[in-house]
Structure 1
Amino acid sequence: MPDKPGSQGKEQPRRRQARGERRIAQLLEAAASVFCTSGYTATSTNAIAREAGVSPGTLYQFFPNKEAIAIELGDRLMHEMRETYGVALAPVDPTTPLAEAVGAAVDRFIAFNTEHPVFFALMKGPDTPGRIAEEHDALHLTLVTRIEELLASFLPDTPPADVTRTAHVCLGIYKAGLELVLTHEGAEREAYVRELKDVLVRYLEPLADARLGTGGGTRTATPGASA
């Protein structure tokens, strides 16, 4: 059956668009590798093109400079990160032990950061492009808010200012622990992950016990402050 008039003309742009998307994904993957190895400042567009196996001219067809590449990469990572903490900080059954809930959330965040080490590399650097820094600040505030919501559920009657402070401390503990986790491999990395979980649980348990008027021991709750 012959093609309808104009069908080939419509198909060609779609094919070019698909090829363009694959090329962009190839360049972003190469950029992620180079940023992790060399850092943002020392990275050049030539190094990214070389890692991607393309000419600099091909790279410039899609991105005018390395900042544009970093911003596109950062945008995609931010989207994935929001999905990750949406799952990691979702409400859990009230009978879930604190250690189990903390462990599950930490595992999800650690998995994201170990699968995407460039996220940490881009966010950590002092020369992070302004737009990425702004997006990260917005992500941080949203994350703190989610932690506050979950903390409030197992710290009833706690003043909002105290909940906010606790949320910031939890996030600070996680970020400090993450840096240690990412600098180790294998069994040693797993050991640092266990230590991170233990620190968070030991921090939160007394707070929960105090608010409930209990004298200690293992508490079950609806945490999520494990971020």
Structure 2
Amino acid sequence: MGTGQRKDPSQQRSQETVARILSATGQVLRTKGYTGCSTNAIAEAAGISKGSVYQYFANKDEIIVVLIDQIMEDATASLGANLEEAVAQGTFLKDAALQVQLLAVLDRYRDILTSLLNDAPHLTLSAHRSVRIEERSRDLLRTYVTVNPSAIGPGVDLDALLLVLTVSYREVGLEYLRRDLRDRRNELATVLYDMTMGGLAGSATKRV
């Protein structure tokens, strides 16, 4: 769990209480946003006392930090599974399907993340919070290129490719949430592929 917690929930009952607090926090953020989120509202949604919340967290921001870490863990697992499947099937870098999946994963948490981006940007998808996804993607890309060296076009600098991917995907993901671009998901995914994977790898565009 996050380092901001006051009490280490080592016992099963404590772990269940923390899980309820995190789930309730997500519910409150979805319905009331960050400004309407408070420890009182979280305790009410969780069906526990406010004092029980304070046993584990000093304030709502500490809860939200742990919730974001939980979201990032889930997103990393989902995207990692998609990447591994694409590598295994030899479709990695071939089309924009992975880019669509990336945006779809963000949509899963849209209500929570958009509220935080608008009202608490200091808590959301900063570089250090997305590092696990980025590291996993870099590892898989290096593995794929090692097995399939022809996947990268002649003269392409792999380190440069990885840097572009890291920065561009994070920033596009944030704007995708901020501006609610769900109706442009496939178009954005295709352009993102062309500018990063497709363009640098010398691949032809394949739309989804």
TM-score category of the 2 structures, normalised to the smaller one: 0.5 to 0.7
Residue 195 (str. 1) matches residue 193 (str. 2) = no
Q: How does 1:41-190 map to 2 (within 5 A)?
A: 43-90=37-84, 91-94=87-90, 98-99=94-95, 102-103=96-97, 105-117=98-110, 118-119=112-113, 121-122=115-116, 125-128=120-123, 133=126, 135-136=128-129, 138-139=131-132, 141-142=134-135, 145-146=138-139, 149=142, 153=149, 154-156=151-153, 157-168=155-166, 170-172=168-170, 174-176=172-174, 178-179=176-177, 183=180, 189=182
Superposed displacement of residue 52, structure 1? 2.1
For CA contacts below 8 A with separation 6 or more, give which structure has more relative contact order: 1
**Partners of 1:123 and 1:133 within 8 A in 2:** no
Cα distance 1:180–1:196, how it changes in 2: closer, same or farther (>3 A)? farther
Deviations 1:187-225 (A, max 9, x none): xx3x42211222124334344338xxxxxx557xxxxxx
Superposed displacement of residue 31, structure 1? 0.7
The secondary structure found in structure 1 opposite 2:123 is coil
Gap regions ≥5 residues in structure 2? 1-9
Cα distance 1:72–1:180, how it changes in 2: closer, same or farther (>3 A)? closer
Match of 2:19 in 1: 25
Deviations 1:134-159 (A, max 9, x none): 74153365256347637855224412
Q: TM-score, normalised by structure 2?
A: 0.66
Distance of 2:168 and 2:94 partners within structure 1: 14
Distance of 1:38 and 1:195 partners within structure 2: 31
Superposed displacement of residue 20, structure 1? 2.9
The secondary structure found in structure 2 opposite 1:70 is helix
Match of 1:222 in 2: none
**Counterpart of 2:102 in structure 1: which amino acid?**
F
Distance of 1:123 and 1:85 partners within structure 2: 21
**Counterpart of 1:98 in structure 2: which amino acid?**
K
Cα distance 1:80–1:46, how it changes in 2: closer, same or farther (>3 A)? same
Distance of 1:59 and 1:176 partners within structure 2: 30
**Partners of 1:46 and 1:56 within 8 A in 2:** yes
**Counterpart of 1:175 in structure 2: which amino acid?**
G
Cα distance 1:159–1:37, how it changes in 2: closer, same or farther (>3 A)? same
**Structure of larger gyration radius:** 1
**Partners of 1:27 and 1:59 within 8 A in 2:** yes
**Partners of 1:144 and 1:167 within 8 A in 2:** no
Percent of aligned pairs sharing the same letter: 24
Superposed displacement of residue 121, structure 1? 4.6
Cα distance 1:115–1:172, how it changes in 2: closer, same or farther (>3 A)? closer
The secondary structure found in structure 2 opposite 1:136 is coil
Deviations 1:165-187 (A, max 9, x none): 43246415641563268x36xxx
**Counterpart of 2:28 in structure 1: which amino acid?**
V
Gap regions ≥5 residues in structure 1? 1-15, 211-216, 220-227
